[in-house]
Amino acid sequence: MLKELLFFYWTLFSRFTWKPAWMEVENPEARHFHRRRFTQRYRQRQKLVERIWLFAALLLFFFPSPPLAVAGILFSTFLSFCILDESE
């Protein structure tokens, strides 16, 4: 019950403070830039990025050194942005 209560209040907080109204719509207009998030291709890219971050987290867990942590996080961030970038 506590989990549902926290989820409810977090949803209210995020909806009314920092989340724009157009992010609430699951089927945006055809030319709206938010529509790309619901395509199959974009979801496949998101899954790939999740795997990259999981691999980076496991690497940092098994080899906990600060230089490796910084390099791994920066490289994972760079790869994530490259994969999810939509510009041509």
State how far the Cα of 13 lies from the Cα of 5, in Å rounded to an integer.
12
For residue 41, what are its two tokens?
Answer: 């291709």
Could you report the per-residue pLDDT of 15-74, keeping only the tens digit for each?
777 666 666 666 666 666 667 777 788 889 999 999 999 999 999 999 889 999 999 999
State how far the Cα of 60 lies from the Cα of 79, in Å rounded to an integer.
17
For residue 83, what are its two tokens?
Answer: 């994969």
State how far the Cα of 70 lies from the Cα of 55, in Å rounded to an integer.
15
pLDDT at 50: 95
- Considering only CA atoms, which of 17, 86, 16, 13 is closest in space to residue 45? 86
pLDDT at 87: 62
Q: Whole-model pTM?
A: 0.62
pLDDT band, very low/low/confident/very high, at 14 (cuts 50, 70, 90)? confident
pLDDT band, very low/low/confident/very high, at 77 (cuts 50, 70, 90)? very high
